Structure 1
Amino acid sequence: MPPDAARRSDRSRRAILVAALELLEALGHSRLTIEAVAARAGVGKQTIYRWWPSKGPLLFDAFLEYGPAGADALPSGVPVVDLKRELRAAAEELAERRFDQVCRVLVHEERTDLVTLLLMPRRMALEERLRTAQRLGEVRADVDVSAAAELLLGPVYQRWFLRTAPLTGEFADAVVDLVLRALTG
């Protein structure tokens, strides 16, 4: 019986995705090459280019499949606790080497559509937490929840992108405290 081509392709695809993430962690995005991924995965580079046009989309798919292991905690029902937990999770995610490197490759390749897909779930979770706070009367009813989520995430993403200072949980908490003062007054 001949080997199943679909199974072989899936095995190669998974090997490529794992190799890409392993090399990304070992080498960083600037030294990562398709040739190195192909060699580590045991495939020809033409196989990689058949499925992905560049390392940005390859890393995006790898990260989606094998990306951050942390699961989001269920809301506690205490808006300030939930907002701090969510913003801390964003900071921790950006500090994770794989996530950091994947996002930097995507930004470098000007693939903001893919960066948005990686970052949008965090924003949506913050918006939901803010809506809950509005329903409970802990955030003013006239607050634009979308803009408020951007106020929360903006400083975190700026600190990550510019590397102006360490991205810590304490920083995330301070951002939440500052933004909440504006949203509750």
Structure 2
Amino acid sequence: MSNPPRARSGNRRDEAARLAVLHAADDLLVEHGFAGLTIEAIAREAGVAKQTIYRWWPSKVEILLDTLIDDATKQLPVPEKPTAASIRAYLRAFAGFVTGDPAGKVLLALLAQAQHDPATAASLQERYLGPRRAEERDLITRAIDAGEISPRLGADALLDALFGPIVYSALTGSGHELADALADELL
């Protein structure tokens, strides 16, 4: 009696392996920086073959984007309620994310890489920044319409005015405490 042939799984991802790769990339980025992050090191840390990684992701940038998207979705959801208080809490959470969370380090590393790599810039914009900004723009627009925040600036200018200084603070190493105070002051 022979065993029936095993069903072929094709390119379907094993969720445990996917998560192991994302966590390994996150950890290794914090430990070695973007330049020191390699597919080989990610594979070794995650306990998967390099071929598995290359089958699912074309580059370390795409792995980091998946990590960022997963972590931001879980840890930094855009608020549903368009209130000044929810926006303030979101800004403070964002400040904590970019100044103290390993996932925030992924965002900063991708922003830095995007400055001199057009492919990274395009992928970051398409997969993370564009969709996230659309959600944030909707929140700001609804808050303006509800009279929760001043309509002096348009939604896009207001987003730049709120998030830009926090990102700058994170990039210059000003720390979470300063970023929290900055978030409060900006709003």
Provide the TM-score with structure 1 as the length reference.
Answer: 0.72
Task: Quote the Cα distance in structure 1 between the aligned partners of 2:24 and 2:56.
Answer: 15
Q: Please give the per-residue CA displacement for 1:60-90, whole angstroms capped at 9, x wherever unaligned.
A: 1233335563244442x6x332331221122
Per the alignment, residue 127 of structure 1 pairs with 137
Flag the 1:28–1:2 CA change in 2: closer, same or farther, 3 A.
Answer: farther
* Structure 1 unaligned blocks of 5 or more: 177-185
Counterpart of 2:36, as a letter, is R
Q: Please give the per-residue CA displacement for 1:146-168, whole angstroms capped at 9, x wherever unaligned.
A: 212211111112222333x2243
1:174 counterpart = 2:185: yes
Shift of 1:39: 1.7
Name the SS of the counterpart of 2:36 in structure 1.
Answer: coil
Task: Quote the Cα distance in structure 2 between the aligned partners of 1:67 and 1:98.
Answer: 8
> RMSD over aligned Cα, in angstroms?
3.1
Q: Please give the per-residue CA displacement for 1:64-118, whole angstroms capped at 9, x wherever unaligned.
A: 335563244442x6x3323312211221221211231354045325312343343
* Structure 2 unaligned blocks of 5 or more: none
Shift of 1:172: 0.7
User: Does structure 2 retain, via aligned residues, the 8 Å contact 1:20–1:37?
Assistant: yes
Per the alignment, residue 89 of structure 1 pairs with 93
Flag the 1:19–1:47 CA change in 2: closer, same or farther, 3 A.
Answer: same
Deviating runs (4+, > 6 A) in structure 1? none
**Pairs within 5 Å for 1:77-156:** 79-95=83-99, 96-105=101-110, 107-108=112-113, 110=117, 111-116=120-125, 117-120=127-130, 122-139=132-149, 141=151, 143-156=153-166
Counterpart of 1:80, as a letter, is A
Between 104-113 and 114-123, report the one with greater CA deviation: 114-123
Per the alignment, residue 179 of structure 1 pairs with none
Task: Quote the Cα distance in structure 2 between the aligned partners of 1:2 and 1:107.
Answer: 48
Flag the 1:107–1:115 CA change in 2: closer, same or farther, 3 A.
Answer: farther
Provide the TM-score with structure 2 as the length reference.
Answer: 0.71
